[in-house]
Amino acid sequence: MNVDVLVIGFGKGGKTLAATMGRLGRRVVMVEQSDQMYGGTCINIGCVPTKALVHHAESRRRDDTAQEWYQQAVGTVEKLTTLLRGKNFQMLDTIDTVTVVTGRARFVGPKTVEVGAGADRLTINAETIVVNTGSEPMIPDIPGLRTSKYATTSTDLISTTELPRRLAVLGGGYLGIEFAAMYRRFGAEVTVLEVSPQILRREDDDVAAAAVDILVGQGITLVTGAQVTEVRDGDDSATVVYEKDGRRLTLEADSILVATGRSPATRGLGLEAAGVRTTGRGAIEVDEHLRTSRGHIFAVGDVNGGPQFTYISLDDNRIVADQLIGTGARSTADRQAVPHTLFMTPPLSTVGLTERQARDQGHTVKIASKPIAEIAAMPRARIVEETRGLMKFVIDAGTDRILGAALLSVDSQELINTVALAMRHAVTAGELRDTIYTHPSSTEGFNEVLAAAS
């Protein structure tokens, strides 16, 4: 096949770009290695199923049997992902100039890719190639871990219908904490082993402490400064051996979730045949316009080593589209105030600088912070019976510009977008404080919290 654009990987950035180019009449091929991954990681094994499971975990009532509720939730979420996977396939398949090919892609030249499916081979020549293969779980080199029948990744765990009675989570980052909170609410006994001395160490101490209080209050055991040294399989469980404060300790678990990070998925792509360079961490090396060392090849999403978020992949698509059919001015340097959310319950959403970072950078700051339970102007928290957490804003004392925020509250995944937009457009803390918000809403909490800046 000879085409204008070849996209390898059905992720958010790649599929959006393929659809855009196809609607403009360009000849496009989308290659995806599995028909179970149409739509990419987010739809099938990432954001959508995990957040749907968070929702079901939160909906469990006291008298619901844990195993039955969990099994029902997994089945419901599987139906959702199947539906969305089909819609994503149709999104491209209904465009006349776009062809979806299922198989593994491998570069055999700068503009030539071979796709294999069983014994079949298809050679595709393209003027523009976009790599969107995402990332894959990293399994640390701990004796016994890789061969343990009790070890699992997030991908495998969310598809099992048996709720683990005792879940050990290796890693206290976003993924580890999210799964720990979710599975605890489903009814599992959960222990998180984190090698760092503090959970959420990148956040300010007061924010991290509030989050830890919530997690511990839910019954999650958090062990920091824990260095896992070995995993030993038994007949019906595994023993996780770890060191803490010079002592050798053990933990019994029915399932071990490895949540120690993800690495760019470049294995088997044959990038060397195309002359595409990678970084020391295995990501495809790109410039601010997401071009690789070969000018006609782009890399979008997790595979380029940038922030591993679906919405970053979507913005990568905008940058590449601007290179192909726009002015070419858009770049990664344009990104400001990019928000993040940790989907514990309630969610923790952050944007910009922490108080510690702002002071270290020389800012004279004022802080607006208040526990959710004390915000009288936020009745929604009491209406939905979720008054845990806090809101914290870091504000430049001279300009009244918002430098950053941490929102640990109900609806924070929505609230943070308003704060980020304000930051990008230089809306001051005073303006955000005095804006009219609907009632009862979580946003109106800004009226009260920002009035307390000092």
Domain boundaries defined on the chain? 2-136+262-334, 151-258, 340-452
Please give the order of strands across the beta sheet that includes 390-396: 340-342, 348-352, 402-408, 390-396, 365-371
Q: Tens digit of pLDDT for each residue in 102-147?
A: 999 999 999 999 999 999 999 999 999 999 999 999 999 999 999 9
Distance CA 322, CA 331 (A): 9
- The sign of the dihedral angle between the CA atoms of 178, 179, 184, 189 is negative
Domain range 340-452, CATH class: alpha beta
The three-point CA angle 170-176-182 to 5° equals 125
Residue range 151-258 forms a domain whose CATH class is alpha beta
Integer angstrom CA distances of residue 198 from 140, 216, 224, 227: 20, 14, 6, 13
pLDDT tens track for 237-282:
999 999 999 999 999 999 999 999 999 999 999 999 999 999 998 9
**Confidence (pLDDT) at 61:** 85
pLDDT at 43: 87
Q: Give mean pLDDT, residues 284-301.
A: 97
Q: Which CATH number fits domain 2-136+262-334: 3.40.50.9100, 3.40.50.2300, 2.60.120.10, 3.50.50.60?
A: 3.50.50.60
Task: To the nearest 10°, report the CA torsion of 183, 187, 188, 193.
Answer: 50
pLDDT at residue 454 tops 80: no
pLDDT of residue 380: 95
Q: Within 10 Å of residue 87's Cβ, how many Cβ atoms? A: 12
DSSP 136: E
Predicted pLDDT of residue 42: 86
Among candidate residues 295, 170, 276, the one with its CA nearest the CA of residue 224: 170
The mean pLDDT of the chain is 95
Q: Which of 432, 436, 344, 447 is nearest to 395 (CA)?
A: 432
- Which is it for strands 104-109 and 120-131: parallel, antiparallel or unpaired? unpaired
Residues 32, 93 contacting (CB under 8 angstroms): no
Return all residues near 113 (Cβ < 8 A) that are at least 6 apart. Answer: 6, 8, 31, 105, 106, 107, 123, 124, 126, 129
Q: Which positions make up the binding site for FAD?
A: 51, 133-135, 302
Instruction: Identify the CA nearest to 227 among candidates 245, 238, 243, 250.
Output: 243
Q: What sections of 94-246 are H helices per DSSP?
A: 154-157, 174-186, 205-217
Matching fold, domains 2-136+262-334 and 151-258: yes
Which residue ranges make up the annotated binding site?
Answer: 51, 133-135, 171-178, 194, 261, 302
Binding residues for NAD(+): 171-178, 194, 261
- Active-site positions read 439
Contacts of 127 (CB under 8 A, 6+ apart): 3, 4, 5, 111, 296
